[in-house]
Structure 1
Amino acid sequence: MAAKLILTDRWGNPVERQTLTKEVAAPTISGVRSPLSGYPGDGLNPVRLANILRAADQGDPVEYLELAETIEERDPHFLGVIGTRKRAISQLDITVEPASDAALDVKIADMVRDWLKREELQQEVFHILDCISKGYSATEIVWDTSESQYMPGKLIWRDPRHFRFERQDLSTPRLLEEGGQEVPLPAFRFIFADIPAKSGLPLRSGLSRVAAWGWMFKAFTARDWAIFTQTYGQPLRVGKWAPGASEEDKATLFRAVANIAGDCAAIIPDTMSIDFVETKSVGASIDLYEKRIAHLDQQISKAVLGQTATTDAIAGGHAVGQEHRLVQEDIETADAMALAAILNRDLIRPWIQLEHGPQKRYPRLKIARPKAEDLKLIADSLDVLVRNGVEIEEAEARARFGWAQPKPGARLLRPVSSGNQPATTDPTDPSGRKGGIEASSAKIKGGAGRSGGDVALQQEGVSTAIFSGGYQIGALAERLGAEAQPVVVAMIEQIEAMLGAAGSLEEFRAMLEEGFGQAETQRLANRLAAAMLSAEFAGREDALDG
């Protein structure tokens, strides 16, 4: 009797299939996984912040994680830049590359593509990226087995306070059970993500550690600025009492001085006086608060986005913004590659192993901003390469165009049958090259002397091949287009330069007449005449072929 296959996760923990459909990390009111949070940011000072970070470094992350949550809630700038970074990744296209062209690998890749169409995916990815701020995130996978299959049913963000790390390395995550025990993460149950801002322990690699100091200093400045704004423009009131004044008289004088700010009126005895002292250089004080907060915001922008031009108005204008945007794109690309690796490791591979068993190779998710590609140029290149014997995987070509493998019974687009198409007569040669050559050779023998008939082409570095008349005309048309393109491009560039230099339509017309003489136009006319002649030959060839 064959031994039962036991699947394990990346930490060597065995999979318990009977518990995969149940939630294991949900918050509870009665246990230690409480959804209620503290607010260590209230009254924060440098000494207290240092103690919070030291406790996290030693394996107690609760107050640090609560502080990170507070910073996102209370600092609009940090919330904006960290949200920009996470949303930039969560909105990127996700593609799937099959492991190979084998039927099973293609089927598995199509299964993953269908799952990726779920509407909740963008929000789930956004929550997974919480690791950028806090250093790590844990997303629970609840598997759906309702139709005797394994499929990720829900991806649920879990509070990072409910996880700890092994004391010997502070890197291996553990789940905090309701009773307070720390247990290994159940296998195939969590997407444990970490996209570190720097090398080191997960608890020391989150951007919230950097933002915490800036937020604290900015809070001090904002408080001082608020007090200053409240008293802005009001002179300092100084009350004076005569010698021998009683405590009651002093209290009366103080109330009078204090009430002048709000009531602008007060009464005092004749033996007392109030002086008003004007403050000098008020404008410089205003700039000091604003510049300090702007400086701290720029430092946070650099830490999160790598630049400041896309978030703050700085000197340099559009050109500087473009350069800084390239820096942000580099960070975006790195985040996307890291997230794809995490999903492949913690979601795709476990899913395939549960559904189909261990495989030698697995499909790969790729997360990237689509690059502007000339698909027509790629299609033309594929046609030329394949006809010249270059072997290209069909799955790779389909992935390049974003097309899935056709499903059984689906209506397919097929080429229109043409007499100019070379027929495949040898079933062992799917490319049709051998059959095409034989068919074309037979056609030459039977149609000698016919204009526009088949000819042999000899190209440098390519073996001699026989093409039918239609292919010969097509090759001629491609050659004519290639020869005419430099002439047309040069003309367009010259016309654009003339248009930019001309001061009026009359001057532009004179430039055109002078710049394009008979020689240049004659070259283009020759190309057009040759193209029309080739079209005539192609028409005659089609007519002769019926």
Structure 2
Amino acid sequence: MKEIDPKSQAGKKVLEQEIAAASMTGVRRAWNDDSIAKGLNPVKLANVLTDANQGDIYDYLTLAEEMEEREPHYGSVIRTRKLAIEGLDRHVEPGSDDELGQKIADDINNLVQSAEFDDLISALVDGLGKGFAACEVMWQNFKPTTYKWRDPRYFTYAADDAYTLRLRNEDGTAGQHLPAYKFVVHQPKLKAGVPIRGGLARMAALSYMCKTYALTDWMAFCEVFGMPIRVGKYGNGASDTDKTILKRAVANIGTDAAAIIPESMQLEFIQAATSTGGESLFENLANWLDKQISKAVLGQTMTADDGSSNAQSQVHNEVRLDLLKADAKQLAATINQQLIKPYIDFNYGVQEVYPKFVLHVPEPEDIAGLVSGLAQLIPLGLKVPQNFVRDKLGIPDPQEDEELLGVPTAQNTNNFELNRKYAEWVANGYRDPSVASMHSDHPKTKDAVIDVLKELNGKQDHVTDDTDDDLDDFINMTEQSIQDLVTQLQSANSFDEMLTLLNDAQLNTSDITDALALAGIKAFADGVK
């Protein structure tokens, strides 16, 4: 690009004026009806690509534009790849941690998050299909205000330079150099070599042409599908006039289903044996060509052509992940070098380290696998920060006084409520056997009862040594009753006899009930409400 002094009056004027504006006539016409796709055949396509290889890129760029407009599948997949980039989150990484570095980063973040910046991204991703894209930046007081996409046919390459764009002259030759800082030029590196040979349109051009032939033949087939072959017969002495009449009659039967011929002539209808299944030939060819275009543009066919399952499409998203990462990295590098660095130099001076604009490509997460793994590893002692899990699952941190979901433990529900009911029952002098029976099953361990009494009371020091001794007695009585049952079962001589003993067994629960009543009274006396 042609260097200018942006701080000079002349340099500032160049930054603020339009350089490649469209006009009614000339090389940069606002309305352009040129067409290459119309009547495209192998010879014409070969000439277009050969001319592009030699620097005459106008016809190739015209064809690339028409392919996106005329071919629904190519237009769809190229748009999908573009939108995948446009939809990425934008971030700015500060160049330094000092106050100035943070201020510059905040300023750049405001720049890249603006609505106008969307126009820049949209303009530059057009280079994926054509090999390059140029966007003119309109500056005001050394700050970009608008970004204008420019038709790539406004530009060309010099005969001795296949990498640097120049404005196109009226005769198609390379004209003036682009003024520095006025244009952001993105040349995606999809393959090694000169940029114009790396566009996706070039790779898809042959499939596009073949599909055009396939669709044309398919439509012709559909027009006559099911119609029998019509054969007119004339005698040896028929004149040219008779032959013309017969030929017209045969044609009219195909269109009007009516014709008249002399009595001496004959018409015969022959069913075409090869017409059956002909439609699948064209359909299969068109589908195969679509898959080649999908692989060229998206890197895969699963989401575009094969009707994949949800599990498959999670692996093969719209655009293959490695392609999306490369696209995002290259585009961010172009913007950092050609827009953000000049902007900082204009407004803050040259910096030792510059902030970096990044298009963030999220990595696909196997959430089910993560949750399953944590459920197995955490009980084994793995320490996992809550913030890490929340970030992976997309769960925000709870706010103060916010109602939270959770699974209460059995001790906090069953044991707590049972002890409360039993304590109230004992304290009020009632002897309801259903309550005692229900309570006799909970809890079975000394520590569990102590925890429940602590929770009922709410105070650590209310669980006394006396309570602890009573609980020892309770555990001993329970164990004795169970031991008596075990002794009876051991005397059984057969499995059926053991089942009979189990059915007839009666545990003596009176001592257990009294022990629980005593514990309930003490708990109530200690403050149970």
Smaller-chain TM-score range?
Answer: 0.5 to 0.7
Q: Following the alignment from structure 2 to structure 1, what is the Cα–Cα distance between the partners of residues 170 and 342?
A: 26
Output the CA distance in 2 between the equivalents of 1:216 and 1:280.
29
TM-score with structure 2 length normalisation? Answer: 0.67
Residue in 2 that maps onto 1:61: 57
Which whole-Å CA distance do the structure 1 matches of 2:144 and 2:85 have between them?
21
Q: Which is greater in Rg?
A: 2
Q: Secondary structure at the match of 2:90?
A: strand
After superposition, the Cα gap between the structure-2 partners of 1:140 and 1:371, relative to the gap in structure 1 and judged at 3 Å, is same
Matches of 2:114 and 2:5, distance apart in 1: 29
| Correspondence for 1:218 | 211
Give the structure-1-normalised TM-score.
0.65
Is 2:17 aligned against 1:25?
no
Distance 1:169 1:533 in 2: 86
- State the partner residue of 1:131: 127
Alpha-carbon spacing, 1:89–1:380, altered in 2? closer, same or farther (3 Å)? closer
Q: Distance in 1 between matches of 2:261 and 2:42?
A: 44
> Would the aligned equivalents of 2:81 and 2:319 in 1 still touch at CA under 8 Å?
no
The answer to whether the 8 A contact 1:91-1:122 is kept is: no
Letter of the aligned partner of 1:18 in structure 2? Answer: K
User: Residue 137 of structure 2 is aligned with which of 119, 136, 141?
Assistant: 141
**In the alignment, residue 171 of structure 1 is paired with which amino acid?**
Y
2:79 to 72, 75, 83: 83
Q: Deviations over 1:109-168 (max 9, x none)?
A: 1112222332233343122100000000000001012xxxx2111110111111111322
2:315 aligns to what? 323
Which one-letter code corresponds to 1:365 in the other structure? F
Check the 8 A contact 1:52/1:64 in 2, yes or no.
yes
CA deviation digits over 1:21-45, x for unaligned, max 9? 0000112233322232410111111
Alignment map for 1:51-200 (pairs within 5 Å): 51-145=47-141, 150-176=142-168, 182-200=175-193
Equivalence map 1:462-473=2 (5 Å): none
Q: Provide the residue aligned with 1:455 in structure 2.
A: none
Summarize the Cα distance change of 1:273–1:13 in structure 2 as closer, same or farther, 3 Å threshold.
farther
Match of 2:244 among 227, 238, 251: 251
Q: Structure 1 counterpart of 2:265, which letter?
A: M
Q: Distance in 1 between matches of 2:363 and 2:189?
A: 26
The residue that corresponds to 2:45 in the other structure is 49
Residue identity matched to 1:334? A
**Residue 235 of structure 1: aligned partner:** 228
- Which runs of structure 2 are paired with 1:356-435 in the superposition (5 Å)? 356-370=348-362
SS in 1 for 2:277: helix
CA distance in 1, matches of 2:215, 2:149: 33
Give the corresponding residue for 2:413: none
Distance 1:205 1:50 in 2: 16
Q: Which SS does the other structure have where 1:88 is aligned?
A: helix
Give 1:330 deviation, angstroms.
2.3
Partner of 1:170, secondary structure, is strand
Shift in Å, 1:49: 0.6
RMSD: 3.3
Structure 1 residue 212: Cα displacement: 0.8
Report the equivalent of 2:404.
none
Q: Percent identity?
A: 39
Specify every segment of 5 or more residues in structure 1 that has no aligned partner in the other structure, as ranges.
Answer: 1-8, 382-414, 416-484, 489-516, 537-546
- Check the 8 A contact 1:143/1:154 in 2, yes or no: yes
* Distance change >3 Å, CA 162–CA 303, structure 1 → 2: same
Q: Distance in 2 between matches of 1:153 and 1:69?
A: 27
Q: After superposition, what is the alpha-carbon deviation per residue over 1:173-201, rounded to whole angstroms, capped at 9, x for unaligned?
A: 11225686611110001110011322111
Moved more, 76-85 or 106-115: 106-115
